[in-house]
Every structure is written in structure tokens, then in C-alpha cells.
Structure 1
């Protein structure tokens, strides 16, 4: 039975990690038009318990995309300089939508795995009761 609970722990860590990734992707999308906003990037790290690998993952520290911010020409913008330019955001909506779809699919795969493990443990309990 401990194998089932260990598997559920690994699956739950994947769900938490993809949830964090989706949260940061949604922040990026909502701030795509915010002047000076830098895209947030989430990386995953292997989860350790008592100095041992657990098989799970955790969302690592959030990093900011250091690519150059584009200059936008809009003389009517309140942040525009004397030439009519201001610093835009480095968020690419196409990349963010692709990241969101990938995170969503990974989350769904973890949910299916969770359901499979639950069904297997229920079937095992039914067999043991006989």
C-alpha cells in the first residue's frame, strides 16, 4: 500500500508544479501590455525528502526573462519620453499560450494518473476483502 501512497505523492507534486506554472503564465498574459514588465519563467526541480530523491517535482524559484525590452513608439502614452518612446513588455502571447497549453496537458496527464492509482488501490482492496 505504501507504493500507492508514494505514487500519489509524486502525482500530487506534479499537479502542484503545473499549477504554479499556470499561475505564472496567466500573470504573464495579464501583464503583456504593462510597460517594463518582464516575463516570469518557472523551472522545475527534483523534490528531495530527508536527503533522498522522492521522484516528485517542485516549482523552482521564479526567474525573470532577461531578454531586451522592446521600445514602443506612442507619443500619447503617459510614460513616453520626449521622442514618444517607452519601454514595452517582453511577453510574447504566442509563447505564453503554448506554455499554458503544455502545462494544462501535463496537469491533465497527472490527473489521469491519479485516477488510475486510485482505481488500482480500490481494486486491490476489493480483492483483499474476498
Structure 2
């Protein structure tokens, strides 16, 4: 298989991995106010398939940090002292993760497009 094909496969697998990461970040953001919600993280793993290095997502993991204790005596889930367990999602971390995933996605998309253009240019040269 050609180097162009290997490059396209690597870029495409990285695009899929970053898209999965963005899905989990958006899920974390949307559940930031859900009581008892634990932040989800997704690790990346390097794998070899048919001699090609590719990126894939690992198993989704729950963040084991302590849940926030929120004081709101009027909340239906509050205990006798007026506290309930919130989520452990930090919006600043999620926004930073989203920005990082977006930039990585854009970089991989640019690499994919550059490889495609180089392949097209090579085909044009070979036709002449």
C-alpha cells in the first residue's frame, strides 16, 4: 500500500478519535448541572492494523474525583443538612479540552487534505 494511503488512513483514524473526544466533552458540558454526574474521559491508543499506525479511542472512563457538595436546602435531592452531590465537571477544563480537540481535528483535516492534494498532483504528473 502506498505512503499516501497510509497517511490518509492515519489522518482519518485521528479525525474519528478527535470527533469521539468532542462528543464526550459536549456530553460533559451538557451534564455539568446534573446531580451525581461524573465526568467522562476517553483515552487514545496507538494500534497497528495491516502494518499501518492508527489512532483509536480506548474505553470511556469516569473521572473518580469527588463530586461537589452543593448547599441548596430547597433542592429535592438535598439531605437533612441541605446538601446534595452535584457533578465533578469543571467547565473551564471542558472548554480547554474542546478547544484542544478542535485544533487537533483541524490539523488532521489539513494533513488529510494536503495528502489528497499531493496524490492528485502526482497523478497529474504521471499522466503527462
Q: Distance in 1 between matches of 2:77 and 2:85?
A: 8
How high is the TM-score relative to the length of structure 2?
Answer: 0.96
For structure 1, the residue ranges without an aligned partner over 5 or more in a row are none
Kindly provide the CA deviation profile for residues 81-128 of structure 1, in whole angstroms up to 9, marking residues without a partner as x. 111110010000000000000000000000100110011000000000
Q: Distance in 2 between matches of 1:56 and 1:106?
A: 15
RMSD in angstroms over aligned alpha carbons? 1.1
How high is the TM-score relative to the length of structure 1?
Answer: 0.95
Provide the secondary structure at the position in 1 that maps to 2:79.
Answer: coil
Provide the secondary structure at the position in 2 that maps to 1:72.
Answer: strand
How many residues in Structure 1 have an aligned counterpart in Structure 2?
Answer: 128
User: What is the correspondence of 1:38-57 to structure 2 with a 5 Å cutoff?
Assistant: 38-49=38-49, 54-57=52-55
Q: Distance in 2 between matches of 1:45 and 1:118?
A: 25
User: What is the correspondence of 1:1-130 to structure 2 with a 5 Å cutoff?
Assistant: 2-49=2-49, 54-130=52-128
Instruction: Give every structure 1 segment of 4 or more consecutive aligned residues whose post-TM-superposition deviation is greater than 2 Å.
Output: none
For structure 2, the residue ranges without an aligned partner over 5 or more in a row are none
Q: Distance in 2 between matches of 1:106 and 1:55?
A: 17
Q: 1:48 Cα deviation (Å)?
A: 2.5
